[in-house]
A and B are shown apart, each in its own frame.
Chain A
Amino acid sequence: MINLPLLPILLPLLTGVILMFFPKRIKAQRAVSLISTMLTILASVVLTQVVRTSGIQSVTLGSWPAPFGITLVSDMLSALLVLSTSILTFAVLWYSTVYLSDEHERFFYYIAVQFLLVGVNGAFTTGDIFNMFVFFEVFLISSYVLIVLGGKPEQLRESLKYVLINVISSALFVITVAYLYGIVGTLSMADISQKIAQSGQTGVLTVIAVLFLIVFGLKGAIFPLYFWLPGSYHVPPIPVLALFGALLTKVGVYAIIRTYTLFFYHETGFTHELLAILALATVVIGVIGALATRDVKQILIYNIVVAVGVILYGVAVMTRQSLEGAIFYLVHDMLIKAALFLLIGVMIGITGTSRLNEMGGLIKDYPRLAWTYFIAALSLAGIPPLSGFVGKLLIVRGGFEAGYWIGPALVLVSSLLVLYSVMQIFIRGFWGTPRRYAGKRKAVSGRLLLPAACLVILTVFYGIGTEFVRPYVTQAVDPLVDPSVYIEAVLKEGS
């Protein structure tokens, strides 16, 4: 069972390859990709349990000793993220089978989703910085395919910008890795951390830390680098949007967490303060965007930006409590964002528009949709029994205990405004006078609701079962506050 961390990467990879042989047989495509994603979930559940019972799992490919070969490392953080990635990909695939037109599904949609899953799971699991770049490219190229699939003029227009931004940030990633390699002379993340600890974090390394923040901030949409996100995410179809909104920015966030806790934890005075300021600015910008728009997709897209800011603020404070909160919130946010995007997808499917001004009174004909959305919205804002609460509570408490007050206060105010922005959708879209709608997917709205509702139920359990989840999160924080745990687990095989 020592190759267990590989399974969540290998399963979708094999599936993607197999699916290429019969791209036009839609039913087979659906069945194979659903079954294999189910298996991926199973593998990640087992992986999480194994990490829980016997500590960090690391596999060095090809039996080369640790700093020389590529290592795949599953600590609790990456295991949890792989698990939630697999679960929400399953829900999105299930939703896609109902939502997408046959025309869309015939052109390699499921193959691209499987490769996206390979890239994201790989980026969460890898223990090698250049390998992380490669996995980033794997999911980015899949995302280029997914964003442009369908070929509508606005998709072509926005994907040109999306591809350009990501090409630039990938080039910056290579440049940053080159600098880091020039200084420390190794690529294995555990070994880099060790070398930096030995030599001390000199000025050059702080510059590299900021470069990493720019690279991953471009992927994860933090404050001055978020400008591409609202336009690009508005154009793809809803299931693709749900995948992007839930996964892609979170990989950037994960990469920031990893590098800032494993590599650059020596001179926190500059780097982490910068991160905190940018994170808070991200929260503010996201909230302003979410309040300013009357388009359901845009409201949620700006809420992605808010969540990224909140999580990174938790990381920037760097106490045990705030990191715990950040991880709680990260997992919660992946699931709830996917659920919310799928839910507004049902709304758009019924009404045929994404503008709030043209909606109203949906609760009369679609009460289940309305109340599921209501719960999801409360959960996003962090109302106590639901899942967003614990994460934010820990982040805010961690912030206050570390002696800051502006940051936690901003996070608290942002929750209120986030609640306002998502309740806008509820009040304007679901209440009011019912209208006649002629959306294309009105007839299948019940079947569309099912996967979204499953995700919402899961997040409700995630919120109620905090006592059950807590030990996992505590274990995930261990290598973040004490990198030697991580380093020992990776390098033990070499010695």
Chain B
Amino acid sequence: MEIIMAIAAGVLVTCAVYLILSKSILRIIIGTGLLSHAAHLLVMVMGGLKTGDAPVIKDGVTAYTDPLPQALVLTAIVISFGVTAFFLVLAYRAYQELGTDNIEEMKGNDSYD
């Protein structure tokens, strides 16, 4: 199971890298979204996917899944959510001010030499 998940994370990273290297800002932001999905999936995988109950204490259950990676992922998700929201608004403002969403056209204006 871990191998399949690792491959899935790898595919996500591949797609993310491809999208981040493209020209349009929105595609880049979608790429960062995929990249954080990959990172979160990887945290879950590296914690181990051994079968066990959900980590809520109940009578009669002896094996639980590792609760720590779940807490880490929860933290990482809200952080990347905040950053993505900021990034999207930033892209919107930049589109309004600069009139383009093409990253190639956002070169330095040689204000320094």
Using a CB–CB cutoff of 8 Å, the interface residues on chain A facing chain B are 130, 133-134, 137, 141, 144, 148, 151, 153-154, 156-157, 159-161, 163-164, 167-168, 170-172, 174-175, 177-179, 181-182, 187, 231, 234, 293-295, 297-298, 354-355
**Interface: B43 (CB within 8 A):** yes
> B28 contacts which chain A residues (CB < 8 A)?
164
Known: A154-B109, A156-B98, A297-B112. A168 touches B20 (CB 8 A): yes
**Contact status A175-B90, CB under 8 Å:** no
Residue of B42, B82, B111 near A154 (CB, 8 A) is B111
* Chain B nearest Cβ from A140, distance in angstroms: 8
Q: Quick check: A137 and B97 within 8 Å, CB to CB? A: no
Measured between beta carbons, the chain B residues less than 8 angstroms from A137 are: 79, 83
B82 adjacent to A141 (CB under 8 Å): yes
Are B35's CB and A168's CB within 8 A?
Answer: yes
Q: How far is the CA of A179 from the CA of B112 in the complex (A)?
A: 42
Chain B residues in contact with chain A, CB under 8 A? 20, 25, 28, 32, 35-36, 38-40, 42-43, 45-48, 68-69, 72, 75-76, 79-80, 82-83, 86-87, 90-91, 93-94, 97-98, 103, 106, 108-109, 111-113
Inter-subunit contact B69/A181 (CB<8 Å): yes
In whole angstroms, what is the CA distance A157 to B100 when docked? 10
Would A151 and B93 count as touching, CB distance under 8 A? yes
Contact A148 B40 (CB under 8 A): no
A174 adjacent to B113 (CB under 8 Å):
no
Contacts of B87 in A (CB 8 A): 163-164, 167
Given A156-B93, A167-B87, decide whether A130 and B35 contact each other with a Cβ distance below 8 A: no
Known contacts A163-B83, A170-B79; 19 additional CB pairs below 8 A are: A133-B76, A137-B83, A141-B86, A144-B83, A151-B93, A156-B90, A156-B98, A157-B106, A159-B90, A160-B90, A160-B94, A161-B106, A163-B90, A170-B80, A171-B32, A171-B80, A174-B40, A175-B42, A178-B42
Beta-carbon nearest neighbor of A295 in chain B: B112
Contacts of A170 in B (CB 8 A): 79-80, 83
Cβ of B8 to closest chain A Cβ, rounded Å: 14
10 closest A-B pairs by CB: A182-B46, A295-B112, A174-B39, A178-B46, A178-B43, A156-B94, A171-B39, A157-B106, A171-B35, A167-B32
Pick from B45, B48, B83, B109 the residue with the most CB of A within 10 Å.
B83
Tell me what chain A mostly uses at the interface: helix, strand, loop, or mixed.
Answer: helix
A175 (CB) vs chain B CBs: closest residue: B39
Please determine whether B98 and A153 come into contact, CB atoms closer than 8 angstroms: yes
List the B side residues contacting A175 at CB < 8 Å: 38-39, 42
Q: In the complex, A315→B97 CA distance in Å?
A: 44
Report yes or no: A160 in contact with B112, Cβ–Cβ below 8 A. no
Chain B residue at minimal CB-CB distance from A153: B97
A298 touches B112 (CB 8 A): yes
Residues of B within 8 A of A160 (CB): 25, 90-91, 94, 103, 106
In angstroms, Cα B47 to Cα A234, docked, is: 41
A-B contact pairs, 11 of them (CB 8 A): A151-B93, A151-B97, A153-B97, A156-B93, A159-B90, A168-B32, A170-B83, A171-B32, A171-B80, A174-B43, A181-B47
- C-alpha spacing A187/B71, complex, angstroms: 12
Bound CA span A154–B97, Å: 10
B93 touches A182 (CB 8 A): no
A133 to B40, CA, bound (A): 14
Contact of A354 among B43, B69, B103, B112 (CB under 8 A): B112
Nearest neighbor of A140 in chain B, beta-carbon distance: B83
- By beta carbon, the residue of chain B nearest A234 is B112
Closest to A130 in B: B72
CA gap between A355 and B113 in the complex, in Å = 8
With both beta carbons as reference points, the residue of chain B lying nearest to A157 in the complex is identified as B106
Bound Cα distance A164, B35 (Å): 12
* Distance to closest chain A CB from B71 (angstroms): 9
Structural contact, B38 and A141, CB atoms closer than 8 A: no
Closest CB of chain B to A460's CB: distance in Å?
31
Q: Which residues of A contact B40 (CB under 8 A)?
A: 174
Please, which residues of chain A bring their CB within 8 A of the CB of B25? 160
Q: What CA separation (Å) do A182 and B43 show in the bound complex?
A: 8
Interface centre among A134, A175, A178 (most CB of B within 10 A): A178
Chain A residues, CB < 8 A from B39: 171-172, 174-175, 178
In the bound complex, what is the Cα–Cα distance between A172 and B36 (angstroms)?
9
Across-interface contacts of A168 in B (CB, < 8 A): 20, 32, 35
